[in-house]
Amino acid sequence: MKAIAYSSFGDTDVLNLTELPEPHPGPDTVVVEVHAAAINPVDSYIRGGHLAGVLDAHFPVVPGWDVAGVVVQVGLDTPEFSVGDEVYAYARKDVVSGGTLAERVAVPARTAALKPRSLSFTQAAAVPLTGLTALQTLRRAGVEAGDQVLIHGAAGGVGTFGVQIATHLGAHVVGTASAANHDYLCDLGAEPVEYGEHLVEHASVYAPEGFDRIIDFAGGASLDSAAALLSPTGTVASIADPRAATELGGHYVWVRPDAEDLRTLAQWIDDGRIHVEIAAEYPLERTAEAYRTLAGGHTRGKIVVTVH
Ligand SMILES: NC(=O)c1ccc[n+]([C@@H]2O[C@H](COP(=O)([O-])OP(=O)(O)OC[C@H]3O[C@@H](n4cnc5c(N)ncnc54)[C@H](OP(=O)(O)O)[C@@H]3O)[C@@H](O)[C@H]2O)c1
């Protein structure tokens, strides 16, 4: 089968379109014919060798953890799925290997769910990693109805879901983004503020007593202002800055595959509560270009690679 793979750590120039053996379904695994696979910044950190102490890579690595497609083979004990099911998954395994940027991929059943019926495969592939990250981070931070919530990186892949889920939970959301994304944030349900030197002044207008929750989906300098903007009883959570836990007494979150959470997201999407924003689509052979675009750091929503 065709797949994107690399045999050494490096930049996008190590990515090759290549022929690889077909995947086999393990006992608790299904083989999915890939219609679409979304890309994420973490794929590039892994390819650069920056997570070598966290996740073992087995070369050649096929990158990608997000997938939407059709089950074409089932394992010995996968009662959750049948051949022909349309599924989506955050198909992260224990080692980095056999990813989703391929014609077919083995997907652990615990990482998959039936795809939202209202979405195309391209849209569905855009959901798992970022949607789960947003949901699990807001849950860890304890976001609830009536909270004043500040979300950093609100227009990105994770932020787009985070704003909509927090709003759905009944929170009042202020989101940071560049000015070009402010109308977009309003459409998602957030009050937009620009990140940078005037952030504290502009954001505190919405929460003079401090924010109940500060959620960092951007990293970098985002949490520098957390102490100034947080209410005395507030909580911080970040997916990109360990200071949230080490210095601010909050949470540093790493998304986990979770089929039940995928079913929750599918329900909210099919109910029309969550919109899925596609920034760009690329065919499999242009995956390297897709990663270069993502590395620009200003994607609105998700970049998706289409396969079948
Ligand atoms: N720990 C985990 O489990 C986990 C899971 C997913 C992602 N992550 C990490 O979280 C980060 C975001 O992921 P993503 O997929 O959402 O990335 P992404 O889609 O590339 O996000 C890009 C967004 O970040 C915004 N942005 C850039 N600089 C910003 C700043 N200084 N303040 C606020 N917003 C800023 C951009 O908005 P503008 O264009 O308006 O500037 C753009 O919309 C990455 O570092 C990723 O590796 C971690």
From the alpha carbon of 152, which atom of ligand 1 is closest?
Answer: 33
N-term to C-term CA, the chain: 12
Predicted confidence at residue 14, as pLDDT, reads 98
Please spell the DSSP secondary structure of 28-81, one letter per residue: TEEEEEEEEEE--HHHHHHHTTTTTTTS-B-SSB----EEEEEEEEE-TT-TT-
- Burial code (b: 16+ CB inside 10 Å, e: under 16) for 273-299 equals ebebbbbebbebebbbebbebbeeeeb
- Burial code (b: 16+ CB inside 10 Å, e: under 16) for 79-102 equals ebbeeebbbbbbbbbeebbbbbbb
Same domain? 78 vs 58: yes
Same domain? 136 vs 222: yes
**Separation CA 171–CA 164 (nearest Å):** 10
Predicted confidence at residue 137, as pLDDT, reads 99
Kindly state whether residue 63 falls inside one of the protein's structural domains: yes
Of all protein residues, the one whose alpha carbon is nearest to atom 45 of ligand 1 is: 240
From the alpha carbon of 160, which atom of ligand 1 is closest?
Answer: 16
pLDDT in 10s for each residue of the chain, 308 residues? 999 999 999 999 999 999 999 999 999 999 999 999 999 999 999 999 999 999 999 999 999 999 999 999 999 999 999 999 999 999 999 999 999 999 999 999 999 999 999 999 999 999 999 999 999 999 999 999 999 999 999 999 999 999 999 999 999 999 999 999 999 999 999 999 999 999 999 999 999 999 999 999 999 999 999 999 999 999 999 999 999 999 999 999 999 999 999 999 999 999 999 999 999 999 999 999 999 999 999 999 999 999 99
Same domain? 121 vs 160: no
Number of domains in the chain: 2
The total number of residues shown for the chain amounts to 308
Predicted confidence at residue 63, as pLDDT, reads 98
| CA-atom Rg of the chain in angstroms | 19
Report if pTM > 0.95.
yes
Determine contact, residues 304/36, Cβ cutoff 8 Å.
yes
Determine contact, residues 185/175, Cβ cutoff 8 Å.
yes
Q: Is 40 in the pocket of ligand 1 (CB under 6 A)?
A: yes
Predicted confidence at residue 46, as pLDDT, reads 98
What CATH number corresponds to the domain at position 186? 3.40.50.720
Residues forming beta bridges with residue 235, ordered by sequence position = 213
Of all protein residues, the one whose alpha carbon is nearest to atom 34 of ligand 1 is: 153
Kindly state whether residue 112 falls inside one of the protein's structural domains: yes
Determine contact, residues 111/257, Cβ cutoff 8 Å.
yes
Same domain? 152 vs 192: yes
Same domain? 94 vs 136: no
Same domain? 19 vs 114: yes
> How far, in Å, is the centroid of ligand 1 from the Cα of 43?
13
Predicted confidence at residue 112, as pLDDT, reads 98
Q: Is 127 in the pocket of ligand 1 (CB under 6 A)?
A: no
Same domain? 113 vs 215: no
51 is in which domain, residue-wise?
2-127+276-306
What CATH number corresponds to the domain at position 41? 3.90.180.10
Of all protein residues, the one whose alpha carbon is nearest to atom 43 of ligand 1 is: 156
Of all protein residues, the one whose alpha carbon is nearest to atom 26 of ligand 1 is: 153
> How far, in Å, is the centroid of ligand 1 from the Cα of 215?
12
